[in-house]
Amino acid sequence: MASVLAMLGACQSSNFELSPEARSGPPAPFGTRPPVAVDGLTVGHRLMAAEEFELALDAYQRAATETGVTAEVLSGMGSANLRLGRLQQARILLEKAVEDYTDSASAWNNFGVVLINLGEYQQARQAFRVAFGLDNGNAELIRQNLILANRLIVEQSAEIAEEADFSLVRYGNGSYLLLGN
């Protein structure tokens, strides 16, 4: 037995390399289509739908290297950061998107969503208005976001009025002055 092992050891080449065919395995069955690479943007959108936000962010960054930094890539990266709770990073990315791509309704809508999350309702309403106009009012989601921003502004105004203690004092001919108590 030892002599057989010694002979096998002697036959083994230290410079052993596989041919390209042996490394890749057997050929695919006849009629099989070669795999097609999916772009990073599509992968990012799919990962966002699957709620894999960190992986989606990586995919959007890959898309930026593949196709360049577009409104859709910036919007995707901003949305991923928003879902990860990174509001300031999301704001920076989406501000860049709306500055560079002023005609992107989705970028404006996503920017408005970040502003809502930051409590900046007036600015959010303005962003939703721009998105609504760019989309010609076709997207129900943008319309709902605009309604939400308007409702939050009204609620915020009502809270301020309840907390404030003001008096209306007549000041001259038909003029009134609002004084805080």
Helix (H) or strand (E) run with residue 178 in it: strand 176-180
3-state class (DSSP) for residue 46: helix
- Identify the band that residue 14 occupies on the pLDDT scale cut at 50, 70 and 90: very low
- Identify the band that residue 181 occupies on the pLDDT scale cut at 50, 70 and 90: low
For the stretch 147-175, pLDDT in tens is 999 999 998 877 665 565 556 566 666 66
Which of residues 146 and 31 earns the better pLDDT score? 146
Q: Give CATH for domain 39-156.
A: 1.25.40.10
Mean pLDDT (the chain) is 83
Section 5-21 average pLDDT: 50
Contact 53, 76 (CB under 8 A): no
- Identify the band that residue 140 occupies on the pLDDT scale cut at 50, 70 and 90: very high
3-state class (DSSP) for residue 50: coil
**What is the model's pLDDT at position 68?**
92
The alpha-helical segments, DSSP class H, found in the chain are: 2-11, 20-24, 40-49, 53-67, 71-83, 87-100, 105-117, 121-134, 140-163
